[in-house]
């Protein structure tokens, strides 16, 4: 069975590297980019099972990128996990309204990221989506 393909969208290089290492060491196939515009381009060119989407980025933020991914056939079914240092309830709600499936607050622990992802993927598998 082929490993799940995850796109990490994060403008801060250290955060991007930590996410990539965490996911790759858990067996995921990982690709990374630095903003929402790059994420939309990459998703148009390749299939991702999961998109780990920072919300606050230059060029195109994660909310707009998520809206575009959800509106595009072929990319609209990826599991999108919003990641943000802004943890106010309205921030979480904005992510969900844009089309994110999950919200993960920064800073996060590797174990929290992996558990949340495994749980969400498991639920999707049980639902048949």
Domains along the sequence of the chain with CATH = 5-127 (3.40.50.2300)
pLDDT, tens digit, 9 for 90 and up, residues 56-99: 999 999 999 999 999 998 777 899 999 998 778 888 899 989 99
CA–CA distance from 82 to each of 1, 2, 96, 111, 128 (Å)? Answer: 27, 24, 8, 17, 22
pLDDT, tens digit, 9 for 90 and up, residues 60-69: 999 999 999 9
The pLDDT value given to residue 128: 62
* Percent above pLDDT 90 for the chain: 74
pLDDT band at 120 (very low <50, low <70, confident <90, very high): confident
Q: Is the pLDDT of residue 1 over 60?
A: no
Q: Are 50 and 79 in contact (CB under 8 A)?
A: yes
């Amino acid at each position: 069975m082929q490993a799940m393909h995850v796109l990490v969208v994060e403008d801060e290089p250290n955060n991007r590297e930590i996410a990539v290492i965490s996911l790759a060491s858990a067996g995921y196939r990982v690709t990374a980019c630095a903003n929402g515009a790059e994420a939309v381009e990459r998703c148009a060119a390749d299939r991702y099972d999961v998109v780990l989407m920072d919300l606050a980025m230059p060029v195109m933020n994660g909310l707009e990128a998520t809206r575009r991914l959800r509106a595009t056939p072929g990319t609209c079914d990826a599991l999108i996990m919003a990641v943000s240092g802004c943890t106010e309830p309205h921030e979480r709600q904005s992510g969900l309204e844009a089309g994110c499936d999950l919200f993960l607050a920064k800073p996060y622990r590797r174990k929290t990221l992996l558990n949340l992802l495994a749980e969400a993927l498991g639920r999707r598998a049980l639902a048949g989506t």
